[in-house]
Amino acid sequence: MPFYQLYYHLVWCTKNRAPLLTPEVEPIIYDYLKFKAQNLGGIIHAMNGVEDHVHLVVTIPPKIALATFVGQIKGSCSTRFNKEHKSYPAFFWQSEYAAFSFDKKRLPYIVRYVENQKVHHQERNLIPILERTEDDSSTHLLGEQNQFFLADYNQWFCLMENVQS
């Protein structure tokens, strides 16, 4: 098996951003996503979100394309939920998603951001670029000016928060 360190922050929404990820539905959906991701060889570092979208921090093996991985976990999850939970409204995902790659030294910061999704949304303390799910050709590239990465989460959060999205 090859050596790899491939880290991704994935974000996708429910269809039409419907608030389908209720407190009752969310754990079921997350279990389905975890199950499929792990069956594809993914290593989940964090998963969280709010009622209309999900954030997933994952390592994906190089043998599977990113688009294939995302498509399979989303499709498998919604199909399984709709078959097994007919008493709930039908569950569908939007086709779009966002994928951010990063290196191992940033993993703790991205994990912490995802783990605190509900708090960030409640307090409206979001990093806009990490919340996007659709392409916008006017977006500026994210670039770090420092030669080293900030060791403090709060400094990192402030730096990321000020990036134009």
Q: What is the pTM of this model?
A: 0.80
Q: What percent of the chain has pLDDT over 90?
A: 64
Indicate if the pLDDT at residue 158 is higher than 50.
Answer: yes
Q: What percent of the chain has pLDDT over 70?
A: 80
Half-sphere exposure of 79 (CA within 13 A, CB side): 7
| Per-residue pLDDT tens digits for 106-123 | 899 899 989 988 887 788
**Contact by Cβ (8 Å): 32, 95:** no
- Three-state SS string over 67-83 comes to HHHHHHHHHHHHHHHHH
For the chain, the structural domain boundaries read 7-161
Q: So what's the pLDDT on residue 165?
A: 42
Q: So what's the pLDDT on residue 146?
A: 42
Question: Given pLDDT bands bounded at 50, 70 and 90, which one contains residue 18?
Answer: very high
Does domain 7-161 match CATH 3.40.50.2000?
no
| Per-residue pLDDT tens digits for 42-90 | 999 999 999 999 999 999 999 999 999 999 999 999 999 999 999 999 9
Strands 7-13 and 43-50: unpaired
